[in-house]
Amino acid sequence: MPELVEYAKSKNVKIWLWAHWTDVNRQMADAFPLWEKWGIAGTKIDFMDRADQWMVNWYRNVAKSAAEHHLMLDYHGAFKPDGLRREYPNVLTREGVMGAEYNKWSARETPRHDVTLAFTRMLAGPMDYTPGGFDNVTKAEFVARNSAPMVMGTRAHQTALFVVFESAFQMVADRPGWSTAAPRSTSRWRAAAARNGTWAASPAGPRGSWSCR
C-alpha cells in the first residue's frame, strides 16, 4: 500500500479506502493510525444500514477517531445527515438517499426522482449519490441489471448532477470505458466535478433555473 500511495502522489492523486463497517468496528484502533502513516486521505465506510442509537453513537465515535488521525470520511449505506459535520468537518458526505446504485435492481431511479432530490433530500445536507452513469436510455428501454447497469435520462442530466447535488467528495459511478468513448461528455463532467463543493448560499429559484431533467 505505501508503494501505491507514493505512485498516486506522483500523479497528484490521493487514495481513499473502502471498508465494511464491521471491519472498521473491529480494527479501527489499529487501522486508522496505520492508514494515517501510509498517507491515506480517507475512507468510505459502507453497509451500516440502520439508525438505532448505538449506530448513531458509532458514527460519532468513528468521526472523532478519524479526525484524530487526519482521515476524511464518507458514510455510505447511511442514514440522512444529522449535523455531525458541524463538529467533525472531516465527514465530507454520506449516502442516505435512493441513489444511482438502485439502477441495478429497480426502475425507481428516474430523472424526475433526481430533480425532486434537489428540493427535498438536499435540504438535510450533502449526499453521496454516485452520479455519472453514461449508458443512457429512455424509460421504455431501461432494464434493471447488476452487470453494466444503465441509467434513465441523458448525459447532460448526469453531468448536471455533479453541480446540483452537493457533495465535497464525489464518486463517478460508471465504467471508465463509457466516458472515454464519449470525450465531449468526459470533459463536461470533469469540469462540473471541479466546480462542485459547499455552496455559500443555495437560493431555490424556479425549478428549471438550476435543476436539469
Please identify every residue annotated as catalytic: 46, 101
Asked if residues 83 and 56 have their Cβ atoms less than 8 Å apart, the reply is no
Question: What angle in degrees, to the nearest 10, is found between the helix axes of 21-38 and 53-68?
Answer: 10
Residue 153: phi and psi, rounded to 5, are 105, -165
- Cα(32)–Cα(41) distance, integer angstroms: 11
